[in-house]
Amino acid sequence: MAKELNSDLGKLLLRISIGGLMVFHGLSKLYHGHDFIKKMLTSKNFPEYLWLGVPLGEVIAPICILMGVFTRISSLLIAFTMLMTFYLVHGIEGFTLSQTGGIKVELNLFYLITSLALFFLGTGKYSVYKGNNGFMM
């Protein structure tokens, strides 16, 4: 029993850290606009309408993760969003050291790795939705 409690509590904490922190990035973009994202997309020859993936990957997916609904799919959306930030924003230079000694993309890397971990671990028992579909949870 204690092992399950610790495992589920760990999954909840992981969900709170990913969803709870990522949603602020998305809300900021909703408030300040997506023009810079549209410019980055078009500069890399992507269609401008792909900016719609930002609210999906940085607002809707984190909220789903926080509630424990569609956690695995939402985790993949965040992971894909982070891969796009590597390509669109940082490039290979993002993997160089910053002035403080960390990798410049360490926050993006954190979101990528933890969202993949959540994809493999699943939701845990502390969630709003108690469905029986193991893949979705």
Please report the pLDDT score of residue 4 as a whole number: 59
Q: Is residue 84 part of a domain?
A: yes
Residue numbers of the domain that contains 96: 2-121
Q: What tens digit of pLDDT does each residue of 69-113 get?
A: 999 999 999 999 999 999 999 888 888 998 888 999 999 999 999
Q: What tens digit of pLDDT does each residue of 30-54 get?
A: 999 999 999 999 999 999 999 999 9
Q: Is residue 22 part of a domain?
A: yes
3-class secondary structure per residue, the chain: CHHHHHHHHHHHHHHHHHHHHHHHHHHHHHHHCCHHHHHHHHHCCCCHHHHHHHHHHHHHHHHHHHHCCCHHHHHHHHHHHHHHHHHHHHHHHHHCECCCCCECCHHHHHHHHHHHHHHHHCCCCCCCCCCCCCCCC
Q: Is residue 130 part of a domain?
A: no
Q: Is residue 78 part of a domain?
A: yes
- The total of structural domains in the chain comes to 1
What's the pLDDT band for 132 if we cut at 50, 70, 90? low
